[in-house]
C-alpha cells in the first residue's frame, strides 16, 4: 500500500524530471505549460483589481478610511479572507478552463509519453489524426468542465466550513488527479465504466497523486502551472500498472 501511495505521491516530480530529461517529451509539454501560465497570470491580474476594489468598498461601508491602525487591520483581514477564497476559485477556475483549451495538447503529451515509455506502439505524428482527436478532446473537455464545475460549487461552499474544508480540498485534488490520468485513459480508449473501475481499484495511487498536488498549493497558481507534469506523471503511473499486468483495453492505431 505504501509503495502504491508513493507512486502517486511522486508523480508530479517524476513527470517534471522526464520533461526536463527527454527533449521529445519537453517539446510537447511547452504549449500546455504556456496556456496554464497565461491562465494563472490573467486570473491573478484580475484578482488584484477586484479584491482591492472590494476591500475599498467594504471599508467605505464600515466608515473606515485613511491610514490608521484600525483601517489597516480591517483592510488586511478583508484582503486575506478574500484572497483565500479567490485563490480557491482561481485555482479551480483556471483548471476548468485549462481542461478545455489545453485538452488536445495534454492528450498528445500523454500519448507521446506512453510511446516513449514503450507502453503503447510508437507511431509518427499525424496532423490529420491529431486534429480529429483535438475536436473530440475539446468536446470532452467541455463536458468534463461542466461536470467538474457542478462539483466545484459544493467544494467552494465546503471550503469555508471548518473540517469540511479539508475534505473539500481532498475532493478537488482527487478530481484534478483523475483528470490528469484521463488523458492516458483516452489514449487507451477506455470507457467510462473502465475508467471508474480503474479509479476504484487504484485509489491508493490516486490518493497519492492528490497528495502530490497538495504540495504545490503552497505557491498560489503553481498547481495549475504544473498540470503538464501531472499529465506526464500520470502516464508514468499507468505505464507501471500495465507492466504489472493490468489490462486497459485495446488501443486503435488508426
Q: Which residues of the chain have pLDDT under 70?
A: 51, 54-56, 58-72, 74-76, 78-88, 127, 130, 133, 156, 159-160, 162, 165, 243-254
Q: What is the pLDDT of residue 253?
A: 40
Cell of 23: 527533449
Residue with cell 488501443: 251
E-strand stretches of 55-121: none
Express each pLDDT in 125-140 by its tens digit. 776 776 776 777 777 7
Q: What is the pLDDT of residue 252?
A: 44
Task: With beta carbons less than 8 A apart as the criterion, state whether 209 and 180 touch.
Answer: yes
Express each pLDDT in 60-116 by its tens digit. 666 665 556 666 676 667 666 666 666 667 777 777 888 788 888 888 899 999 999
Task: With beta carbons less than 8 A apart as the criterion, state whether 174 and 211 touch.
Answer: no
Q: What is the pLDDT of residue 192?
A: 84
85 CB contacts (<8 Å, ≥6 apart)? 156, 159, 160
Each domain of the chain, given as residue ranges in start order, spans 2-42+90-243
Q: What is the pLDDT of residue 16?
A: 94
Q: What is the pLDDT of residue 160?
A: 63
Task: With beta carbons less than 8 A apart as the criterion, state whether 5 and 228 touch.
Answer: no
Q: From the centroid of its chain, how far is CA 201?
A: 21
- Closest-CA residue to 186 (of 231, 230, 125, 154): 231
Q: What is the pLDDT of residue 254?
A: 36
Amino acid at each position: 500500500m505504501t509503495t502504491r501511495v508513493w507512486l502517486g505521491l511522486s508523480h508530479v516530480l517524476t513527470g517534471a524530471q522526464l520533461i526536463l530529461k527527454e527533449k521529445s517529451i519537453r517539446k510537447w509539454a511547452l504549449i500546455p505549460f504556456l496556456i496554464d501560465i497565461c491562465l494563472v497570470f490573467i486570473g491573478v491580474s484580475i484578482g488584484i483589481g477586484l479584491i482591492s476594489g472590494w476591500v475599498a468598498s467594504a471599508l467605505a461601508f464600515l466608515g473606515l478610511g485613511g491610514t490608521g491602525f484600525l483601517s489597516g487591520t480591517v483592510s488586511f483581514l478583508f484582503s486575506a479572507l478574500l484572497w483565500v477564497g479567490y485563490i480557491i476559485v482561481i485555482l479551480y477556475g483556471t483548471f476548468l478552463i485549462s481542461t478545455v483549451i489545453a485538452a488536445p495538447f495534454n492528450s498528445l503529451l500523454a500519448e507521446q509519453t506512453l510511446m516513449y515509455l514503450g507502453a503503447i506502439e510508437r507511431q509518427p505524428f499525424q496532423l490529420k489524426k491529431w486534429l480529429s482527436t483535438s475536436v473530440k478532446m475539446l468536446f470532452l473537455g467541455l463536458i468534463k468542465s461542466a461536470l467538474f464545475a457542478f462539483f466545484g460549487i459544493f467544494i467552494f461552499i465546503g471550503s469555508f466550513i471548518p473540517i469540511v474544508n479539508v475534505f473539500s480540498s481532498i475532493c478537488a485534488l482527487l478530481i484534478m488527479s483523475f483528470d490528469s490520468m484521463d488523458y492516458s485513459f483516452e489514449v487507451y480508449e477506455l470507457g467510462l465504466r473502465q475508467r471508474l473501475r480503474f479509479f476504484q481499484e487504484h485509489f491508493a495511487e490516486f490518493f497519492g497523486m492528490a497528495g502530490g498536488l497538495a504540495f504545490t498549493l503552497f505557491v498560489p497558481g503553481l498547481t495549475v502551472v504544473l498540470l503538464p507534469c501531472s499529465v506526464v506523471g500520470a502516464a508514468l503511473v499507468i505505464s507501471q500498472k500495465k507492466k504489472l499486468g493490468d489490462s486497459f483495453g485495446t488501443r486503435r492505431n488508426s
